[in-house]
Amino acid sequence: MDKFNKHTGLVVPLDAANVDTDQIIPKQFLQKTERVGFGKHLFHDWRYLDISGNESNPDFILNKPQYQGASILLTRENFGCGSSREHAPWALEEYGFKVIIAPSFADIFYGNCINIGLLPIKLSEQQINELFDKSDESSLSLTIDLINNNVTFDKTVYNFSLDSFHQYCLEQGVDSVGWTLNKLEKIKEYEAKMSPWQ
Amino acid sequence: MSNSTQAKTMYEKLWQQHIVEEKSGETPLLYVDRHLIHEVTSPQAFANLKFHNRPIRHPERTIATMDHNISTRSIKIDAAGEGAANQLRTLEKNCKEFGIELFGMGHKNQGIVHVIGPELGLTLPGTIIVCGDSHTATHGAFGALAFGIGTSEVEHVFATQTLRQTKAKTMKIEVNGQVGTGISAKDIILAIIGKTGSAGATGYVVEYCGSAIEALSMEERMTVCNMSIEFGAKAGLIAPDQTTFDYLEGKEYSPKGDIWQQAVADWKLLKTDQGAEFDTILTLKAEEIKTQITWGTTPGQVTSVDSTVPSPDDFSEQVEKDSCAAALTYMGLTAGTKITDISINKVFIGSCTNSRIEDLRAAAGIVEKYQAQGKSVSAKVDAIVVPGSYRVKAQAEAEGLDKIFSDAGFEWRLPGCSMCLGMNDDVLEAGDRCASTSNRNFEGRQGRGSRTHLVSPELAAASAIAGHFVDLNNL
């Protein structure tokens, strides 16, 4: 996992609540055994007019010229609800997103993002509304500072909070499996006292 | 008062019993007793293990099945296309290489992962069970802490038999009283989601309790817990009791002899202590729950079958108004339409929510009522019945349920996830309107442009015959 410290990028505002993982990456693209190749299918049914994905939908926000190259996704509540497919954050990451900002996220999706180094940021409804207003008016560039836990644009600063271990893992690009394998003695201790039926 | 004497919820007990390490500055590390895998969310986890040259810590604690991608028309591994076959073969290869037990195509134990775990006795109270699938909450019906995980976490469990988890808040959902005639477990859980909304339990582990929950069979409890994720809950729990122990005793993988006795004694201590505090409490009166049906594109957009399609004006929050308007457009519905006036052309009875033997019996019971009046599946409707596993299929066939369905014009299929998510050859066409006993009505879930209404097996069966939704009270 790459280290995350600071990121400045363009915001694309996806004004929809309860965006589920079936929308983020539809099931017909889950039949891969590799971890790559999902970005081009991100938001497939919204992004393309045809099933095979050749005809771009000009009305979909990600396809608008002013949002090309966006690396920060701004969206509404309960983003990433539904299935546990990690293919959803993989698709977002491969498309070029580094950060997702929403008032709330579904739990499994949130954890999946942390595990691959895609930063999910929760802000208040009011702050989210303000960012939507700004990004609708003109192209909005935000700076995300993970070390100081804030989002800045113009002279405005929004603070956000993150679990301290999540923050550490993102900042250091921790290999979480390797980290836990260093705790093998603890795991063995637990196993030695397990119930016989467990 | 010390921690050990404080009244605890079932979740807190399960949590404490599985702590491997809880250290300041680190997310707690919990032990995973059982890991269930399938073909879709495991290949990249195996690939990463191999890349790092890491072994699986306890291959005997992982069980694999094939369910998401498989055809329900044929047991041939390539019957649902090349991509599916590649994933299925990859699972076969990985299981062989790492020494994992696999219930492959046509195996007597094969079936939907959340159907076979319980029916084989792999799902036990007091355990932590994970799977790369969000409907893992199903296993909470036994008093197991069970939740869906992503592929990075699948890899973490493979390598360490543990997971890092942030402690959730606790929510008690109490359903008191007795449900009316013909009201199913599906109606109970949809009514709950209707109250909380699609994200009402995000950040929570939910415990279902109350007399209406205690009265449910294990199959019904699984239907309730299965949909915990549909209102955002990390997991759903029901306290194990005699119903649970009776169900599990003698199952293929259940503990036997003295170990069984010890297990039951331990499991009886799991229930939430009197006086334990929950962060949130929700109470429902069972008598008030009617037959439910979703009208929109999230499970929280639900109403009773005897009502009408809502209007954006019925909601106070702007986000909900917008969601309602968008859902009506996608679903091709007009506010104010009577639900029973909505016609359908597809019916799916199956999925990890409603494909167990009791679900099939309930649906067949409705079909028999209609057959007595000389009625069968409407000429406008294609209806399929997909048992959850080969064991369910065998039981249903022994009881003659397959014949009841076939004689009435339903297609009797082979087990699998089928049309719940359409990752196989059971996919809806754009514009199709389906009465589905599955768990998600998201846009495009069952096929691009298709429209899903989530219902109970009883309502699905009745609607297949009527060609539109029906009030079961008026049968």
Q: What is the pLDDT of residues B340-358, one digit of tens each?
A: 999 999 999 999 999 999 9
Distance between CA atoms of residues B70 and B49, nearest Å: 25
Q: Is B71 exposed, middle or buried (0-12, 13-18, 19+ CB in 10 A)?
A: buried
Interface test with A, best of B27, B253, B267 (most A CBs within 10 A): B27
Among A residues 122-161, those touching chain B with beta carbons less than 8 Å apart: none
Quick one: pLDDT at residue B5?
66
Distance between CA atoms of residues A119 and A133, nearest Å: 22
* Selection from B210, B213, B232, B211 nearest residue B224 by Cα: B213
Q: Is residue B329 predicted with pLDDT exceeding 90?
A: yes
Contact B441, B323 (CB under 8 A): no
Distance between CA atoms of residues A45 and B416, nearest Å: 25
Beta strands of B94-176 (E only): which ranges? 101-103, 128-131, 145-148, 162-164, 169-176
The minimal CB distance from A198 to the residues B33, B90, B319 is found for B33
Residue B1: which pLDDT band, with cuts at 50, 70 and 90? very low
| Strand order, beta sheet including B204-209 | B235-237, B204-209, B169-176, B280-285
Q: Is A53 on the interface with B (CB under 8 A)?
A: no
Q: Do B150 and A190 touch (CB under 8 A)?
A: no
Q: Do B266 and A31 touch (CB under 8 A)?
A: no
Quick one: pLDDT at residue A1?
83
Q: Is A198 on the interface with B (CB under 8 A)?
A: yes
Q: Is A107 on the interface with B (CB under 8 A)?
A: yes
Q: Do A18 and B166 touch (CB under 8 A)?
A: no
* Radius of gyration, CA atoms only, chain B: 22
Contact B32, B157 (CB under 8 A): yes
Q: What is the pLDDT of residues B291-311, one digit of tens each?
A: 999 999 999 999 999 999 999
Residues in chain B: 475
Distance between CA atoms of residues B37 and B158, nearest Å: 10
Q: Quick one: closest CA in B to A22, which residue? A: B445
The minimal CB distance from A177 to the residues B147, B151, B159 is found for B159
Q: Quick one: closest CA in B to A181, which residue? A: B160
Q: Is A34 on the interface with B (CB under 8 A)?
A: yes
Q: Is residue A183 predicted with pLDDT exceeding 60?
A: yes
Contact B120, B252 (CB under 8 A): yes
**Mean pLDDT to the nearest integer, B421-434:** 95
| 3-class DSSP assignment, residue B195 | helix
Paired tokens of B463? 């609607």
Average pLDDT, chain A: 96
Percent of chain B with pLDDT over 70: 99
Residue A77 is classified by DSSP as T
Q: What is the pLDDT of residues B99-146, one digit of tens each?
A: 999 999 999 999 999 999 999 999 999 999 999 999 999 999 999 999
> What end-to-end distance do the CA atoms of chain B give, in Å?
58
Distance between CA atoms of residues B105 and B74, nearest Å: 9
Contact A61, A79 (CB under 8 A): no
Contact A11, A128 (CB under 8 A): no
Residue B2: which pLDDT band, with cuts at 50, 70 and 90? very low
Residues in chain A: 198
CA distances for A176 relative to A116, A166, B145, B157, B160, angstroms: 10, 10, 22, 11, 10
Distance between CA atoms of residues B163 and B157, nearest Å: 6
> What end-to-end distance do the CA atoms of chain A give, in Å?
34
Q: Is residue B234 predicted with pLDDT exceeding 90?
A: yes
Q: Do B47 and A33 touch (CB under 8 A)?
A: yes
- Phi/psi for B233 (5° steps) reads -65, 145
> Does the CA dihedral B158-B161-B164-B170 come out positive or negative?
positive
| Angle, in degrees to the nearest 10, between helices B43-51 and B151-160 | 50
Distance between CA atoms of residues A69 and A14, nearest Å: 15
Among B residues 311-370, those touching chain A with beta carbons less than 8 Å apart: 319, 322-323, 326
* Selection from B423, B415, B411 nearest residue B447 by Cα: B423
Contact A146, A118 (CB under 8 A): no
Q: Is A162 on the interface with B (CB under 8 A)?
A: no
Query: Is the ipTM here above 0.90?
Result: yes
Q: Is B125 on the interface with A (CB under 8 A)?
A: no
Residues of chain A neighbouring B203 (CB-CB closer than 8 A) = 107
Q: CA-CA-CA-CA torsion for A136, A137, A141, A146, nearest 10 degrees?
A: -60
Percent of chain A with pLDDT over 70: 100
Contacts of B378 (CB under 8 A, 6+ apart): B464, B465, B466, B467
Amino acid at A61: I
Q: Is residue B288 predicted with pLDDT exceeding 60?
A: yes
Q: Do B86 and A16 touch (CB under 8 A)?
A: no
Q: Do B162 and A187 touch (CB under 8 A)?
A: yes
Quick one: pLDDT at residue B296?
98
Residues of chain A neighbouring B147 (CB-CB closer than 8 A) = 108
* Selection from B29, B153, B35, B162 nearest residue B98 by Cα: B35
**H-only helix segments in chain A:** 21-24, 44-47, 87-95, 107-116, 125-137, 164-172, 176-181, 184-192
Contacts of A53 (CB under 8 A, 6+ apart): A40, A41, A44, A47
Structure-token match 């990456």, residue found: A25
Residue B265: which pLDDT band, with cuts at 50, 70 and 90? very high
Q: Do B440 and A20 touch (CB under 8 A)?
A: yes
Q: What is the pLDDT of residues B410-423, one digit of tens each?
A: 999 999 999 999 99
Among A residues 165-194, those touching chain B with beta carbons less than 8 Å apart: 165-166, 168, 176-178, 180-181, 183-184, 186-187, 189-191, 194
**Mean pLDDT to the nearest integer, B264-279:** 98
Q: Is A86 on the interface with B (CB under 8 A)?
A: yes
Average pLDDT, chain B: 97
**Mean pLDDT to the nearest integer, A84-105:** 98
| 3-class DSSP assignment, residue B91 | helix
Q: CA-CA-CA-CA torsion for A163, A167, A168, A174, nearest 10 degrees?
A: 110
Q: Do A30 and B319 touch (CB under 8 A)?
A: no
Paired tokens of B236? 């759903």
Q: Is residue B3 predicted with pLDDT exceeding 90?
A: no
Q: Which residues are registered as beta bridge partners of B384?
A: B348, B411
Contacts 24+ apart (CB under 8 A), A134-137: A135/A11, A135/A12, A135/A13, A135/A74, A136/A13
Quick one: pLDDT at residue A69?
96
Paired tokens of B162? 């543990």
Contact A41, A25 (CB under 8 A): yes
**Mean pLDDT to the nearest integer, B382-408:** 98
Residue A138: which pLDDT band, with cuts at 50, 70 and 90? confident
